[in-house]
Structure 1
Amino acid sequence: MQLATLDWVLIITFFIIFLVVGIVVSKKAGKSTKEFFLSGRNMPWWLLGISMVATTFAADTPGLVTELVRVNGVSGNWVWWAMLLTGMLTVFFYAKLWRRSGINTDLEFYELRYSGKSASFLRGFRAIYLGVIFNIITMAGVCLAGAKIANILLGISQWETLLYSSIIVVIYSSLGGLKGVLITDMIQFFIAMIGSVWATVYIINLPEIGGLQELLTHENVAGKLNILPDFSNKEMLITLFIIPFAVQWWSTWYPGAEPGGGGYIAQRMLAAKDEKNATWATLFFNFAHYALRPWPWIMVGLASLVLFPNLNSLSTAFPNLETNMQGHDVAYAAMMTYLPAGLIGIVLTSLIAAFMSTISTQLNWGSSYIVNDFYSRFINQAASEKQKVLVGRISTVVLMLCAALFSFYIKSAKDVFDLLLQIGAGTGLLFILRWFWNRINPYSEIAAMVISFVIAIFFFINKKLSTPLFELEGYWQLIIGVTVTTLCWIVITLITKPTDDKTINTFESLIFGSESKFHNIHFKILGFLLGIIGTYSFLFATGYYIYGNLSYAIALTITSIICAGVLIKIWKKII
Structure 2
Amino acid sequence: MVSLSTLDYILIIAFFAITLSIGVFVSKKAGKNSSEFFLSGKTMPWWLLGVSMVATTFSTDTPNLVTDIVRTNGVSGNWVWWAFLITGLLTVFVYAKLWRKSNVNTDLEFYEFRYGGKPATFLRKFRAIYLGVIFNVITMSAVTLAAIKIGGIMLGLEPWQTVVSAGLITVVFSALGGFKGVVYTDFILFFVAMGGAIGAAYYLVNLPEVGGIEAIMTDENVIDKLSILPDFSDKNALITLFIIPLAVQWWSSWYPGAEPGGGGYIAQRMLAAKDENHAIGATFFFNIMHYALRPWPWILVALASLVVFPDLASIQEAFPNITDDKLGHDLAYSAMLTKLPSGLLGLVLASLIAAYMSTISTQLNWGSSYIVYDFYKQQINPKASEKRLVAVGRLSTVMLMIISALLALLLQNALQLFELLLVFGAGTGLIFILRWFWWRINAWSEITAMFASGIISILLKLTPLGDYLFKSEDSVFENYFEYPFVVFVTTIIWLIATYVTQPESKEVLQDFYRKIQPGGPGWEKIISEANADGVNLKTTEEKWSVPSGIGAMLIGCLFIYSCMFATGYWIYGNYNFAIGLTISALLSGFFLKIIWKRIKSTIL
User: Is residue 509 of structure 2 the alignment partner of residue 508 of structure 1?
Assistant: no
One-letter amino acid of the structure 2 residue matched with residue 377 of structure 1? Q
Summarize the Cα distance change of 1:444–1:354 in structure 2 as closer, same or farther, 3 Å threshold.
Answer: same
Q: Provide the C-alpha distance between the structure 1 equivalents of 2:325 and 2:344, rounded to a whole number of angstroms.
A: 29
Equivalent position to 1:543, from 553, 564, 568:
568
Deviation at 1:559, TM superposition (A): 1.1
Match of 1:127 in 2: 128
Q: Provide the C-alpha distance between the structure 1 equivalents of 2:459 and 2:465, rounded to a whole number of angstroms.
A: 10
Which region of structure 1 is more displaced relative to structure 2, 558-567 or 249-258? 558-567
Match of 1:62 in 2: 63
One-letter amino acid of the structure 1 residue matched with residue 551 of structure 2? L
Q: Provide the C-alpha distance between the structure 1 equivalents of 2:309 and 2:135, rounded to a whole number of angstroms.
A: 34
Q: Provide the C-alpha distance between the structure 1 equivalents of 2:273 and 2:143, rounded to a whole number of angstroms.
A: 27
- Give CA-to-partner distance per residue, 1:85-143, whole Å, 9 cap, x none: 11111111100000111000000100000111111111111101100011011111111
Matches within 5 A, 1:318-333: 318-333=319-334
Contact 1:436 1:517 in 2 (8 A): no
Q: Give the TM-score normalised by the residue count of structure 1.
A: 0.98
Deviation at 1:574, TM superposition (A): 2.0
User: Is residue 336 of structure 2 the alignment partner of residue 335 of structure 1?
Assistant: yes
Contact 2:459 2:466 in 1 (8 A): no
User: Is residue 492 of structure 2 the alignment partner of residue 487 of structure 1?
Assistant: yes
Q: Provide the C-alpha distance between the structure 2 equivalents of 1:470 and 1:556, rounded to a whole number of angstroms.
A: 39
Contact 2:470 2:481 in 1 (8 A): no
Q: Provide the C-alpha distance between the structure 2 equivalents of 1:415 and 1:464, rounded to a whole number of angstroms.
A: 19
Contact 2:470 2:482 in 1 (8 A): no
User: Is residue 563 of structure 2 the alignment partner of residue 562 of structure 1?
Assistant: no
Summarize the Cα distance change of 1:467–1:398 in structure 2 as closer, same or farther, 3 Å threshold.
Answer: farther
Summarize the Cα distance change of 1:517–1:70 in structure 2 as closer, same or farther, 3 Å threshold.
Answer: farther
Match of 1:574 in 2: 599
Q: Provide the C-alpha distance between the structure 2 equivalents of 1:463 and 1:356, rounded to a whole number of angstroms.
A: 39
- Give CA-to-partner distance per residue, 1:478-535, whole Å, 9 cap, x none: 1221111111111100111111111111111111162479613332122011110000
One-letter amino acid of the structure 1 residue matched with residue 5 of structure 2? A
Deviation at 1:573, TM superposition (A): 2.5
Q: Provide the C-alpha distance between the structure 1 equivalents of 2:252 and 2:330, rounded to a whole number of angstroms.
A: 27
Q: Provide the C-alpha distance between the structure 2 equivalents of 1:443 and 1:125, rounded to a whole number of angstroms.
A: 13
Summarize the Cα distance change of 1:336–1:466 in structure 2 as closer, same or farther, 3 Å threshold.
Answer: farther
Q: Provide the C-alpha distance between the structure 1 equivalents of 2:541 and 2:368, rounded to a whole number of angstroms.
A: 36
Matches within 5 A, 1:303-452: 303-452=304-453
Q: Provide the C-alpha distance between the structure 1 equivalents of 2:465 and 2:64, rounded to a whole number of angstroms.
A: 22
Deviation at 1:360, TM superposition (A): 0.4
Contact 1:462 1:469 in 2 (8 A): no
* SS of alignment partner, residue 358 of structure 1: helix
Matches within 5 A, 1:85-484: 85-462=86-463, 471=472, 475-484=480-489
Matches within 5 A, 1:72-91: 72-91=73-92
* SS of alignment partner, residue 108 of structure 1: coil
Q: Provide the C-alpha distance between the structure 2 equivalents of 1:129 and 1:34, rounded to a whole number of angstroms.
A: 22
One-letter amino acid of the structure 2 residue matched with residue 496 of structure 1? T
- Give CA-to-partner distance per residue, 1:271-305, whole Å, 9 cap, x none: 00000000010011111101110000000000000
Match of 1:499 in 2: 504
User: Is residue 535 of structure 2 the alignment partner of residue 530 of structure 1?
Assistant: no
Match of 2:523 in 1: none
Summarize the Cα distance change of 1:572–1:515 in structure 2 as closer, same or farther, 3 Å threshold.
Answer: farther
Deviation at 1:268, TM superposition (A): 0.1
One-letter amino acid of the structure 1 residue matched with residue 581 of structure 2? L
Q: Provide the C-alpha distance between the structure 1 equivalents of 2:198 and 2:541, rounded to a whole number of angstroms.
A: 46
Match of 1:5 in 2: 6
Match of 2:37 in 1: 36
Q: Provide the C-alpha distance between the structure 1 equivalents of 2:383 and 2:479, rounded to a whole number of angstroms.
A: 47
Summarize the Cα distance change of 1:168–1:554 in structure 2 as closer, same or farther, 3 Å threshold.
Answer: same
* SS of alignment partner, residue 23 of structure 1: helix
* SS of alignment partner, residue 208 of structure 1: coil
Q: Provide the C-alpha distance between the structure 2 equivalents of 1:187 and 1:442, rounded to a whole number of angstroms.
A: 41
Q: Give the TM-score normalised by the residue count of structure 2.
A: 0.93
Match of 2:531 in 1: none
- Give CA-to-partner distance per residue, 1:359-400, whole Å, 9 cap, x none: 000000000000000001110011000000000000001111
Q: Provide the C-alpha distance between the structure 2 equivalents of 1:466 and 1:401, rounded to a whole number of angstroms.
A: 34
Q: Provide the C-alpha distance between the structure 2 equivalents of 1:54 and 1:336, rounded to a whole number of angstroms.
A: 20
One-letter amino acid of the structure 2 residue matched with residue 507 of structure 1? F
**Structure 1 gap ranges (5+):** none
Contact 1:127 1:370 in 2 (8 A): yes
Contact 2:460 2:466 in 1 (8 A): no
Contact 1:462 1:470 in 2 (8 A): no
Summarize the Cα distance change of 1:405–1:462 in structure 2 as closer, same or farther, 3 Å threshold.
Answer: farther
Summarize the Cα distance change of 1:315–1:466 in structure 2 as closer, same or farther, 3 Å threshold.
Answer: farther
How large is the RMSD of aligned CA atoms in angstroms? 1.8
One-letter amino acid of the structure 2 residue matched with residue 268 of structure 1? R
Q: Provide the C-alpha distance between the structure 2 equivalents of 1:467 and 1:305, rounded to a whole number of angstroms.
A: 35
Q: Provide the C-alpha distance between the structure 1 equivalents of 2:470 and 2:240, rounded to a whole number of angstroms.
A: 23
Q: Provide the C-alpha distance between the structure 2 equivalents of 1:180 and 1:203, rounded to a whole number of angstroms.
A: 34
Summarize the Cα distance change of 1:457–1:159 in structure 2 as closer, same or farther, 3 Å threshold.
Answer: farther
